[in-house]
């Protein structure tokens, strides 16, 4: 999975992914301190009600279809959790 920050939303009225009223979030992969990690921005289906600027956990590939909302849908990235805390070398690097 990857840590990522929620930075925006995408509206796509005509879609064939099979998700009912999807919320697509623009997410920027980030490091343990919430800074951009250098991985490219992507679009992930929200399943947890993530808000702007929150740090979330992203699952990609076929694993992104293993939630109730994304099951058998044409979705390759999903927000699977809202991050509360990250620590590195026993130092808290991010707290919600």
x/- track of binding to its own copies for residues 18-57 (CB under 8 A): x-----x-x--x-xx----xxxxxxxxx-xx---x----x
Non-local (6+) Cβ contacts of 96 within 8 A are 54, 55, 82, 83, 84, 85
Q: How many residues touch its own copies (CB under 8 A)? A: 64
- Both tokens of residue 3? 């840590």
Parallel, antiparallel or unpaired: strands 55-60 and 42-45: unpaired
For its own copies, the binding residues (CB under 8 A) are: 1-3, 7-18, 24, 26, 29, 31-32, 37-45, 47-48, 52, 57, 59-70, 72-78, 80-90, 93
């Amino acid at each position: 999975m990857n840590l990522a920050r929620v930075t925006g939303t995408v509206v796509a009225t005509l879609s064939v992914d099979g998700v009912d009223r999807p919320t697509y979030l623009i997410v920027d992969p980030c490091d343990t301190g919430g800074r951009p990690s250098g991985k490219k921005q992507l679009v992930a289906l929200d399943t947890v009600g993530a808000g702007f600027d929150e740090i979330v956990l992203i699952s990609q590939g076929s694993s992104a279809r293993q939630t109730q909302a994304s099951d058998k849908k044409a979705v390759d990235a999903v927000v699977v959790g809202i991050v509360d805390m990250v620590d590195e070398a026993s130092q808290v690097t991010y707290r919600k």
